[in-house]
Chain A
Amino acid sequence: MRGKWVLFLLGFVTFNTSAQEASDDHLFITRKIAEYMLAFERCDKAISNRSEPREEVIWKLKTFPRNDVERFLISRSVQLRKQCEKPELTELAYAILTLQDHDIPEETRNAIDAIKVLAFPGRNRQFERAYAELPQGTRDTLERIDYFREPFDDRRVRDLLK
């Protein structure tokens, strides 16, 4: 009888410990997600606070083929945005990897799957490819323009070119 009580208590403690670990894991990853979201907002704000490029920048852009300029603006803006978010993105990726082998509840797994779609879209490699396929001369010239060394809103610049 006593043995059964000991077994019961051990099981109860183990269950409670597992349940607490699961909720700790959930809190751990959602904190990392929240920190990434703040980084996203920080970078968003930095971009929207930027003034428009000077007239000579627009003039310079108009000397290049329209398709190349569009390609540069879109892919470069993604590149710089990613750099802005990099510290928190890296922390988030690390946090997700550390939970890989944990026995995590469905809610936590769903949160991880969701943030993977939102923070690590696989299609971003297509932007990198688009950038790499630009003529070297075009890339070199436009990268040297100060305006395109900080995160910017590509849509805003493209609208100015219309």
Chain B
Amino acid sequence: MECPDINNLKFSREDKDALDEIRRVQRAGNVLELAMPAGVFATIFLGNNAAQVTYNIHSTDWVLFAKAMNSIPDLMRYRIRQVAKLRLLRADLSTQQRRFWDAIDGGCRGY
């Protein structure tokens, strides 16, 4: 979804809390990508640092972790849209606030 032009948008304290929550979700997603074993092995093969810990990974784990890694962005997006939906449940939003959060729920990434 294209991010709409919104004039005179004023964020309330709750809006700012919601934006902080979105940033927390993004940080959590980035941490998880690094913590998953698939991420660790990508670092070994693609980066300069070798992991110091040995893992006993079975062959079936590789598929599991690779699929999980691919899902992290989708989960992040879903949680961000949930933050937007919670704002939309509020009856006291201005037209501009509603347009903003509706755009985030719709997939606009203007945050």
Tell yes or no: B4 within 8 A of A by CB: no
Of residues 42 through 93 on chain B, the ones whose CB sits less than 8 Å from some CB of chain A are 53-57, 61, 64-65, 67-68, 71-72, 74-76, 78-79, 81-83, 85-86, 88-89, 91
Contact of A44 among B53, B64, B78, B91 (CB under 8 A): B78
Tell yes or no: B6 within 8 A of A by CB: no
B32 contacts A114, C-beta separation under 8 Å: yes
B residues less than 8 Å from A117 (CB atoms): 24-25, 28, 79
Give the contact-size bracket for chain A.
Answer: 35 or more
Contact of A114 among B31, B68, B78, B105 (CB under 8 A): B31
B82 contacts A111, C-beta separation under 8 Å: no
B residues less than 8 Å from A67 (CB atoms): 91
Q: What is the bound-complex CA distance between A74 and B82, given in angstroms?
A: 9
Number of interface residues of B (CB under 8 A): 38
Chain B nearest CB from A113 CB (Å) reads 7
A74 contacts B88, C-beta separation under 8 Å: yes
Contact of A33 among B32, B57, B88, B89 (CB under 8 A): B32
B54 contacts A23, C-beta separation under 8 Å: yes
CB closest chain-A residue, reference B91 = A67
Contact of B76 among A30, A71, A111, A118 (CB under 8 A): A118
Q: What is the bound-complex CA distance between A114 and B27, given in angstroms?
A: 8
A123 contacts B36, C-beta separation under 8 Å: no
A127 contacts B86, C-beta separation under 8 Å: yes
A34 contacts B65, C-beta separation under 8 Å: yes
- Interface residues as binary, A110-148 with B (CB distance below 8 Å gives 1, 0 otherwise): 110111011101011011001000000000000000000
Given contacts A41-B74, A127-B85, 19 further A-B contacts (CB under 8 A): A23-B56, A24-B56, A30-B36, A33-B68, A34-B64, A38-B67, A40-B74, A75-B89, A110-B31, A110-B35, A114-B27, A114-B28, A118-B28, A118-B76, A118-B79, A119-B75, A121-B79, A123-B86, A155-B106
Q: Interface of A with B (CB < 8 Å)?
A: 19-20, 22-24, 26-27, 30-31, 33-35, 37-38, 40-41, 44, 67, 70-71, 74-75, 78, 107-108, 110-111, 113-115, 117-119, 121, 123-124, 126-127, 130, 154-155
